[in-house]
Chains A and B, each alone.
Chain A
Amino acid sequence: MTKLSDPKEKKQRVIPGFGLSMGITLFMLSGFIIIPLASVLVYSFQLSPREFINLITKTNVVNAFKTSLLCSVFAAFVNSVFGLILAWVLVRYEFPGKRIMDGLIELPFALPTAVAGITLSKLYSDTGIMGRFLGLLGIKAAYTKTGLTIALIFIGIPFVVRSIQPVLKTLDPRYEEAAAILGAGKFYTFRRVILPELGPALLTGFGLAFARGVGEYGSVIYISGNNARDQTQVVSYVITQKLNYLDYPGATAIALVLLFLSFLVLLFVNMIQVHQAKRTSSL
């Protein structure tokens, strides 16, 4: 007995129950992520390579990829900028109603997306409050890519704010003071002191908001107009078109390509992160 327990003791980990927790991890990963994704792959392989290529190079499918990816990247970018400002305000300043404002950030998570979509389309159509105002500026929001991007900004903003907030909280204001004492200007301090610290969190937020936007359906379809000519069809809409006629192979093939393209974008974001981490550590 003692002989057996000896080598184990050497390997003892700080958190107990490695076997159990690893088992749970594997179960969750396979049951909820790997197997469903693998079945997507299997379904789409029902198409012959030629059918597959024909399908994903169809004009409306290619346009949907462009629309989904570009609008999601743009929305994630807008969210990164404004999410950073929002998080900054919520962490660094004290003002009445701060708690309520902080809570409001999470509402887009909780609201059913279809409700959000219908509400946004009403607000931003040319008879709605926001839409009428934008109309005066010559901008048509609902039923265009602008409207689509607005919906994606709406659903993506919590991801950025919630990624940055905890990091910002632990960021010691003394760094900024030190920078100021050493003669750095405000913008320089922001660029060289604060941003590198927030970088990884910001990129995580960007990645999450982007990934959410690419797969979004509910909030988008009501405001986008789903017009193949105006290229306002998103990928999830084209997938639903296929599903409604029980074309599972077609739907999964498109989903697979979308998954792959999103993976590339996320990989790119991660590479920037790694690159930046190296740079900061070498400084």
Chain B
Amino acid sequence: MRKRGKTCAGVLTLLAAAVLTGCAGQTGSEKVKTITITNVSYDATREFYQEYNRIFESYYRDTYKTKITVVQSHGGSGGQARSVIEGAKADVVTLALGQDITMIEKSGLINSEWIKEFEDNSSPYTSAIVFLVRKGNKKKIKDWSDLVKPGVEIIAPDPKSSGGACWNFLAAWQYAKVTYHGDEEKMKSFAADLYRNVSVMDSGARGATTTFVENGQGDVLIAWENEAINTVKEYPDQYEIITPGISILAQPSVAVVDENALRDKAEKASEEYIKYLYSDEAQRLIGKYGYRPSNRKILSEFSETFDLNVNLCTIDDFGGWDTAYKTYFADEGIFDEIYGN
């Protein structure tokens, strides 16, 4: 009798436990049924993130048994950063340059150590600055020195207006630094000659591509490698990519917007979202969309797409973004000086 009673009690407890955990499980899953995170990014990553979100969503569902939806937002990098500072709902930012994320950091939304939070200075993919010329390369443009020749018309975006365009200037500056052994006067006159040949200076990279491709302006477009690769893909046999001997490693940066993610209870998911960018699967996707994967092994798989022999400097050669911005792009900086602003 006593034994039976015990088993009865045991069964009851088990049942109760089952019901309780069942209930808890249910309410739990109802609460986190779908997590929604917002990724605020810039123009040129639209197509990549559309596909990446798809594979991330299924990865997250399989690993954490939780449904996740990623909302994307794209625009000029600086403008996107500004909108996050002013209160746009972003859990993750994936912008064209570290400076834009630093601006958000200064507003207190992102922890100051963001650049060390993920591998490779929080840059899961990189790019380089290259030239896009029309098929046949009539003006025989091979390197930076060919761009300053009289009669060459360059299309390039305005570094004063678009952060992404700063990379173009810095790449040219690095070439001048190496060529003229750091002679500042000669470097400035080279940069002045270069920007004198810029016939249309659009406000952003997308605008410059439109001017060059759709409106048929200019002989050469100074562009991000991924934009150039996608243009060639879209218009086969009409354009050629020329990789100069010296260029700069353009490092788009990513970060979790800590304050917003905390409020949305999506810190874990947001962190996962960025971490997964470093997975082999995502890295291959990155290569497919024309960005250089940060994983060296996977990068070497794309040796046909990217010129891996180009000599790439980094933003650290300019003392980091803050210094570079103040020296070159702020009012009365070197760009103003050479462009006669």
Q: How far is the CA of A126 from the CA of B215 in the complex (A)?
A: 8
Query: Is B215's CB under 8 angstroms from A246's CB?
Result: no
**B340, A59: Cβ atoms under 8 Å?**
yes
Nearest B-chain residue to A142, judged by Cβ: B215
Q: Say yes or no for A135: interface residue by CB 8 A criterion.
A: no
0/1 string, A221-240, CB within 8 A of B gives 1: 11001111100000001001
Residue of A nearest to B79 (CB): A244
By the criterion CB–CB under 8 Å, are A227 and B200 in contact?
yes
CB distance from B73 to the nearest CB of A (A): 17
CB pair A122–B214 under 8 Å, yes or no, is: yes
* A99 CB-CB contact with B under 8 Å: no
State in angstroms the CA–CA spacing of A157 and B169 once bound together. Answer: 40
Could you tell me which B residues sit within 8 Å of A by CB distance?
76, 78-79, 82, 85, 103, 158, 160-163, 196, 198-203, 207, 210-211, 214-217, 325, 329-331, 339-341
User: Which of the listed residues B163, B202, B329, B331 has the most CB atoms from chain A within 10 Å of its own CB?
Assistant: B331
Asked whether A244 lies within 8 Å of B199 as measured between CB atoms, the reply is no
Residues in A whose Cβ lies below 8 Å from that of B82? 243-244, 246
> How many Å lie between the Cα of A55 and that of B201 in the bound state?
22
Name the contact of A226 in the complex, choosing from B202, B217, B330 (C-beta under 8 A).
Answer: B202
Selected contact of A222 from candidates B158, B207, B216, B329, CB within 8 Å: B207
Q: Which residue of B lies closest to A128 (CB)?
A: B215
Q: Is the CB–CB distance between B340 and A240 below 8 Å?
A: no
The answer to whether B78 and A118 touch across the interface, beta carbons within 8 angstroms, is no
> Once the chains bind, are B85 and A228 in contact (CB under 8 Å)?
no
- Contact between chains at A241 and B200 (CB < 8 Å): no
Partner of B215, one of A122, A226, A237, A243: A122
Interface contact tally, CB-CB below 8 A:
74
CB nearest to A131 among chain B residues: B215
Shortest 7 CB-CB distances between A and B: which pairs? A244-B78, A127-B216, A125-B215, A60-B341, A241-B161, A225-B200, A241-B160
Residues of chain A contacted by B330 (CB below 8 angstroms):
245
Q: What interface size band does chain A fall in?
A: 20 to 34
A126–B339 CA distance with the chains assembled, in angstroms:
25
Which of chain A's residues have a CB closer than 8 A to the CB of B340? 59, 228-229
Q: Provide the bound-state CA to CA distance between A237 and B341, in Å.
A: 14
Determine whether A143 belongs to the interface, using a CB cutoff of 8 Å to chain B. yes
- Minimum CB distance partner of A222 in chain B: B207
> How close is B189's CB to chain A, nearest CB, in angstroms?
16
Contact with B along A198-232 (1 / 0, CB 8 A): 00000000000000000000000110011111000
Q: A121 contacts the other chain (Cβ, under 8 Å)?
A: yes
Contacting residues, chain B, for A142 (C-beta < 8 A): 215
A 147-179 binary contact with B (CB < 8 Å = 1; else 0) = 000000000000000000000000000000000
Q: List 15 A-B residue pairs with CB atoms under 8 Å apart, sorted by A's residue number.
A: A55-B331, A59-B341, A60-B341, A118-B210, A122-B214, A226-B202, A227-B201, A229-B340, A241-B160, A243-B79, A244-B79, A244-B163, A245-B330, A246-B82, A246-B103
Chain B nearest CB, measured from A139 CB (Å): 16
Q: Which of B85, B161, B339 has the most CB of A within 10 A?
A: B161
Q: For B215, list chain A residues within 8 Å (CB).
A: 121-122, 125, 127-128, 142
When the two chains form their complex, are residues B216 and A125 in contact, meaning their CB atoms are under 8 A apart? yes
Say whether B331 contacts A240, CB under 8 Å: no
A121 to B155, CA, bound (A): 15
B212 to chain A, nearest CB (A): 11
- On chain A, the residues within 8 Å of B339 by CB distance are 228-229
Given A127-B217, A221-B203, 7 additional A-B pairs, CB 8 A:
A58-B331, A121-B210, A121-B215, A126-B217, A128-B215, A244-B76, A245-B330
Residues of A within 8 A of B207 (CB): 221-222
Chain B residues lying within 8 Å of A225, measured Cβ to Cβ, are 199-201
CA distance A227 to B160 in the complex (A): 11
Chain B residues with Cβ below 8 Å from A122 are 214-215
Which residues from chain B contact A143 at a C-beta distance below 8 Å?
199-200, 217
Residue from B79, B196, B217 with most neighbouring chain A CB atoms (10 Å): B217
Closest Cβ neighbor of A221 among chain B residues: B203
Complex: how many Å from CA A241 to CA B199? 19
B163 cross-chain contacts in A, Cβ below 8 A: 244
Q: In the complex, which residues of chain B have a beta carbon less than 8 angstroms from the beta carbon of A228?
A: 339-341
Report the nearest A residue to B341, measured CB to CB.
A60
- What distance in Å separates the Cβ of B17 from its nearest Cβ neighbour in chain A? 56
The contact of A240 among B202, B203, B341, by CB within 8 Å, is B203
What sequence of 0s and 1s flags, for each residue 119-143 of chain A, a beta carbon within 8 Å of any chain B beta carbon?
Answer: 0011001111000000000000011
| Chain A residues whose C-beta falls within 8 Å of the C-beta of B341 in the assembled complex | 58-60, 228
Q: Select the residue from B201, B202, B210, B329 with max chain A CB neighbours within 10 A.
A: B201
Shortest Cβ gap from B267 to chain A (Å):
26
Chain B positions within 8 Å of A250 at CB level: 331
Q: Are A226 and B103 in contact (CB under 8 A)?
A: no
Min C-beta distance of A163 to chain B, whole Å: 32
Give the residue of A222, A226, A227 whose beta carbon is less than 8 angstroms from that of B161.
A226
B residues in contact with A226, CB < 8 Å: 158, 161, 201-203
